[in-house]
Amino acid sequence: MDAADLRVFEAVARLGGMNRAASELNTVQSNVTARIRALEDELGVRLFNRTTRGVAMTEAGRRLLPYAERIARLLADARRAVEDDGTACGALAIGSLESTAGIRLPRLLATYADAYPDVDLVLSPGTTCELIERVLNHELDGAFVCGPVSHPDLDEEVVFREELVLVTARPVRRLADVLEQRHLKIIILRFGCSYRQRLEDVLTRRGVVGVRRLEFGTIDGLLGAVSAGVGVTLMPRSLVAARAQAGQLTIHALPADEAEVDTVFIRPREAFVSSALDAFLSCMRIDNEKAAAE
């Protein structure tokens, strides 16, 4: 068994068929089939069950797959390490919560883009759950998410500390007036939003249970619904302060143990750190120090 065998195995497992794997690997189906049979003979187990629709992994194949994927990533990292001459250039994929991207990152991104013009930086928004999964799948080099994460395959670094506040429509002056509503609605982002469970916990502690949920795909849509009096939400103060000052919303402070939350930057543990990512981390830390001093 060698890396080439595992590469063929991983392609067949991921694509679900010998033909599709052969096409991706730029070879013929007979070669793929022969490599899989040779690997099965060497290991003494069947890795795939053949069907009229393709192949399905056996339990042994499922046990082998994580190791094949890990070796494939290690080989890809080895190639990237050899090709990286210390110059920050090429592609860099970073994920972020929408709230963080809108409030905390503009200055950092502007500084980075100006200092490293040869880097093709792509910023992808998402919920904490979505971004964690994409980092674990190595689709993103790193991401800003709601912490703590505490995953064995991820390194995390605290970057920002946010104050969460309850947000209601402008006419509401007493939070109790909202919480006593018979058909209270909570306005939240789609499933996987890190503030969703926090909001439900805050309400539960105040005896509010069984609330109805309205999900929105964007923060603008969510805050528009809150402003119209549809319901209540939970957001970082930094994100809604300007709207509150403009008279569009009302902010309700929470005790520190409910309000404080860390935004952390996560990246795959033990993965190769490109010069582009290393430069981004340096800019992030410097920007964080400046923000703390202001």
pLDDT tens track for 32-71: 999 999 999 999 999 999 887 778 899 999 999 999 988 8
pLDDT of residue 105: 93
148-175: per-residue pLDDT in tens? 998 999 999 999 888 999 999 888 878 7
Q: Tell me, what's the pLDDT at 196?
A: 81
Q: What is the pLDDT of residues 73-90, one digit of tens each?
A: 888 889 889 999 999 999
> In 116-193, which residue ranges form alpha helices assigned H by DSSP?
128-136, 175-179
The number of CA neighbours under 13 Å toward the Cβ of 194 is 26
191: left (phi over 0), alpha (psi -120 to 50) or beta: beta
Q: Is the pLDDT of residue 215 over 90?
A: no
Eight-state DSSP code of residue 249: E
User: What's the pLDDT tens digit per position in 93-137?
Assistant: 999 998 899 888 999 999 999 999 999 999 999 989 899 999 999
* Three-state secondary-structure class, residue 270: coil
Look at residue 177 in the predicted model and tell me its pLDDT. Answer: 76
Between CA 110 and CA 135 the distance in angstroms is 23
CB neighbourhood size of 13 (10 A)? 21
Which pLDDT value is given to residue 188? 85
Give the contacts of 168 (CB within 8 A, at least 6 positions apart).
175, 178, 226, 232, 249, 250, 252
| pLDDT bracket for residue 92 (50, 70, 90) | very high
Read off the amino acid at residue 6: L
Q: What is the mean pLDDT of the chain?
A: 90
Most confident by average pLDDT, 14-18, 60-64, 216-220: 60-64
Query: At residue 192, does pLDDT exceed 70?
Result: no
d(CA 89, CA 96): 21
Higher-pLDDT residue of 160 and 195 is: 160
Q: Are strands 90-96 and 212-216 parallel, antiparallel or unpaired?
A: unpaired
Give the model's pLDDT for residue 123.
96
Please indicate whether the domains covering 3-83 and 162-259 agree at the CATH topology level. no
- Predicted pLDDT of residue 98: 86
pLDDT recorded at residue 94: 97
The percent of residues above 70 in pLDDT, for the chain, comes to 99
Q: Name the CATH topology of 162-259.
A: D-Maltodextrin-Binding Protein; domain 2 (3.40.190)
**Region of poorest pLDDT, from 11-15, 136-140, 167-171, 194-198:** 194-198
Whether domain 90-161+261-293 has CATH 3.30.420.40: the reply is no
Least trusted range by pLDDT, from 13-27, 38-52, 203-217: 203-217
- pLDDT, position 44: 93
CA pair distance 249, 97, nearest whole angstrom: 21
Pairing of strands 154-169, 233-236: antiparallel
Widest Cα–Cα separation across the chain: 73
Q: CB 34: neighbour CB atoms within 10 A?
A: 12
Closest CA to 192 of 215, 209, 210: 215
CATH code at 3-83: 1.10.10.10
Query: Residue 195: its pLDDT value, please?
Result: 80
Task: Please give the structure tokens belonging to residue 180.
Answer: 């006593």
Residue 293: predicted pLDDT:
73
pLDDT score for 191: 65
User: In the prediction, which pLDDT does 291 show?
Assistant: 76
Residue 189: the pLDDT is 79
What are the boundaries of each domain within the chain? 3-83, 90-161+261-293, 162-259
**C-alpha–C-alpha distance, residues 271 and 280, integer Å:** 16
Task: Tell me the C-alpha to C-alpha distance, in Å, between residue 180 and each of 46, 174, 272.
Answer: 62, 10, 53
Section 184-200 average pLDDT: 80
Q: What's the CA gap between 89 and 118, in Å, rounded?
A: 5
Nearest CA among 294, 292, 280 for reference residue 108: 280
